[in-house]
Amino acid sequence: MTDNDQLPDPRGAIKDPDEWVTGDEPPTAAQESYLHTLAREAGEEVPDDLTKAEASRRIDELQEETGRGR
């Protein structure tokens, strides 16, 4: 297999949440649900006023804390 034959990364492009065009919008329903699940497992509270980008960063932190995800 040559470099030109490589398949694209199935995870897609990973972009820093600070660079998201929609990062200042409210979190998606999926983010809210997963964030609350992770927070419950970690014994943490979720602030009500998070942006989509902040929710993404918090999810990453809680995944590390709980051992979920990556």
Percent composition of the chain: helix, strand, coil (DSSP 3-state, to 5): 50, 0, 50
Domains of the chain, residue spans:
23-66
pLDDT-derived band of residue 18, with 50, 70 and 90 as boundaries?
confident
65/5: higher pLDDT: 65
Total-model pTM: 0.75
In the predicted model, what is the mean pLDDT of the chain?
85
Tell me the C-alpha distance between 70 and 55, whole Å.
16
Q: Which residue has the higher pLDDT, 6 or 52?
A: 52
Q: Are the CB atoms for 64 and 56 separated by under 8 Å?
A: no
Which tens digit of pLDDT belongs to each residue from 32-49?
A: 999 999 999 999 999 999
Q: How confident is the model at residue 54 (pLDDT cuts 50, 70, 90)?
A: very high
